[in-house]
Structure 1
Amino acid sequence: MMNTAYALIFGFVITVGLPLNAVSLWILLRHHSLKLPSAVFMVNLAISDLLLIVSLPMRVYYYAKGTWTFSNMTCIWVTMLFRNNIRSSSIFITFISVDRLLAVVYPLRSRHLRTSSKAWKGAALVWLIVLVVNVPESVGFLRHLSTLQNSTCFEFDAENDTSLLQNETLTMATDYFQLVLLFAMLAVNIVSTAMVLWTVQRHQNESALVKNKVNVMLIFIMNLMMFTVFFLPVSLVVFFENFRPALSCLASLNCCLDPLLYYFSFDGFWKRKEEVDMSLGRE
């Protein structure tokens, strides 16, 4: 019964998240200038979400059939795409928060920091770190799967599997790395939200005035919700292995909400690239 529910939830994410993120990516690339660092981070966030979504049909198949008929390497690839989304999304969302913080609180002093070249370098570094972390995880999971007699996937129980315990330094370390990373990113988002809220309310200088305060605060509220509702629970699975499938379903839903972040981040999400280029001098 639970497997059917998991399959339906992942199917829902595919049905809703795939068109929303594909259209959002198209709009970002066609209608918005990648000279804005926030647009660069949103493009990478959309790519991260799409990579997760293309892996979900395998999860739907597994939970619908109750067995895994593909290779162990396929299972590893699908698992890594899911974990990479949690890590890369949390960092890109934090980058968006910090970019908005600098634009609102330090609009003039931060102009040399908020450039597209620096944004692309930061995005490249994020993907590099994510891929490096994949190496020990993949090794540990592959050794674990090779010892199983039944056809299974996405179930890595360190407490009940001796083979995985033997590779604890490879697998558990990455779980704790993800948990520490998310708490650090959450702390940055909380501080950014507090500083922007304080600045918007106090209006201490002319350049801190924001035309659409509601949209600005919605960006930060959504970012905090992403962490507390979707990212942190699935990272705490290191302590609650039995809840892994349910929390994975919950975490995958973040793909359906990220397009709202793109919409609220721009005063005119549908406006043409030329209009965005003209607005660069006013930000």
Structure 2
Amino acid sequence: MTSVNTSCDVNMTVWETTINQLYTYFYLIIFIPGLLSNTLALWVLCRFISKKTKAIIFMINLTIADLAHVLSLPLRIHYYIQHDWPFGSALCMLCFYLKYLNMYASIAFLVCISIQRCAFLLRPFRAKHWKSRYDVCISIAVWVVVGLCCSPFILMRSNSGSGSQNKTCFKDLPTRKLNLRTAVSMMVAAELLGFLGPLIIIGFCTYLIVNSLRQRNQNQQSTSSTRKALRMVRVCTGVFLFCFAPYHINFLLYLMVTQSIITNCVAIQAIRLFHSISLCIASLNCCLNPLIYYFLTTEFKQQLQQHGSSVLRGRLMSMESTSSFPE
């Protein structure tokens, strides 16, 4: 039995090194694209799109959620390279919290985008009387609800009780032991409210739009707006499934590992490895969401191309003026 435990400890040490490298390389890869694409998206959405319909307000909030996580990546990269956290416990918990806040805020706003595009397509007269302040109020409510629902992720983590409390962070934070009832409640809430519920809503929106498209095809009506709405909802569904399904599929098993319900060494290694991979995949939404704005929002593409070309022309004229000399 001792030899088995020793072998397991050695394997876990190798696992820790592998996961640290995984996080380091992955965050390095997505940091610059995520920062540039979301900064540009926020600039275009806020400054050049005066028509705050077609889920623009929700897209702005989605971009803010992505930027909050992206801006915390340098601190994560520092930790996984140096294996040291000199920035204090408060900043550690904030960065840890932003990871899950970004995940569930992204899920919530993808749902809001899908619902609004579907509702405005099926009820176009209601869209004409819809006010931007309604979207603002909904966004505030989403941030409050998601912020409160994500608090258990940091409450069940503890960075106190040891002499190295300011030296560890993120995955190395010890996990509080929960009673069975609390653990089951967390699992059910995370899976139902954070994954299955949003998946059902987005799927239902897709069904309604597809059904509307079929009816309009039969009646030989114009389907341009319907096809655009369908593409938007389908892409939201694709991003949702690709980025967040792996994490929620593994969430139940990972929680069982943290609560010492699963004790098999091989199973623990596999579950923790997949958990880390799924978190990396979830972080990809920071780079994928701007593609929704560009390829599926006509106003965004037009404004970006228009102002991007004007900036380019200005730079070319400036270069020509500085390179020309009087004869």
Total equivalences in the alignment: 267
Alignment of 1:134-213 (within 5 A): 134-141=150-157, 144-148=158-162, 151-155=167-171, 164-166=176-178, 173-174=185-186, 176-181=188-193, 182-203=195-216, 209-211=222-224
1:131-163 Cα offsets, whole Å, 9 max, x none, are 22344443332xx22135654322278xxx6x6
Structure 1 residue 70: deviation in Å? 3.2
Pairing partner for 1:116 from 117, 120, 132: 132
- Quick check: which has more Rg, 1 or 2? 2
Which sits farther off after the overlay, 28-37 or 80-89?
28-37
Return the offset for 1:48.
0.5
In the aligned structure 1, how far is the partner of 2:197 from the partner of 2:98? 22
Determine the C-alpha separation between the residues in 2 that align with 1:165 and 1:60: 28
Q: Deviations over 1:241-265 (max 9, x none)?
A: 2133221111000110101111233
Q: Distance in 2 between matches of 1:194 and 1:266?
A: 21
Aligned-partner residue type, residue 251 of structure 2? V
Per the normalisation by structure 1, the TM-score is: 0.82
Mapped partners of 1:39, 1:172: distance in 2: 37
Map 1:238-257; keep pairs closer than 5 Å: 238-241=251-254, 242=272, 243-257=274-288
Does the aligned pair in 2 maintain the 1:133–1:174 contact within 8 Å?
no
How far residue 198 of structure 1 moved from its aligned partner, in angstroms, is: 1.9
Deviation at 1:228, TM superposition (A): 1.3
Alignment check: 8 A CA contact 2:217 2:223 kept = no
Query: Is the Cα contact below 8 Å between 1:233 and 1:247 reproduced in 2?
Result: yes
- Correspondence for 1:102: 119
Choose the corresponding residue for 2:146, options 117, 130, 152. 130
CA contact (8 A) 2:97 2:151 kept: no
SS of the residue aligned with 1:240?
Answer: helix
Q: Distance in 1 between matches of 2:161 and 2:277?
A: 25
1:152–1:240 Cα change, 3 Å? farther
Give unpaired runs (5+ residues) of structure 2. Answer: 1-17, 255-271, 305-327
- Structure 1 residue 216 and structure 2 residue 229: aligned? yes
Q: Give the residue type in structure 1 aligned to 2:56.
A: A
2:110 — aligned with what?
93
Aligned with residue 264 of structure 1, among 290, 295, 318:
295
Partner in structure 1 of residue 53 of structure 2: 36
Of 89-98 and 3-12, deviating more is 3-12
Deviates more, 1:214-223 or 1:187-196: 214-223
Deviates more, 1:60-69 or 1:91-100: 60-69
TM-score when scaled to structure 2? 0.72
Show structure 1 runs of 5+ residues with no match. 274-283
Instruction: Quote the residue 2:76 is aligned against.
Output: 59
Measured in 2, the distance between the counterparts of 1:132 and 1:95 equals 18
Moved over 6 A (4+): 167-172, 204-208
Percent same amino acid at aligned positions? 26
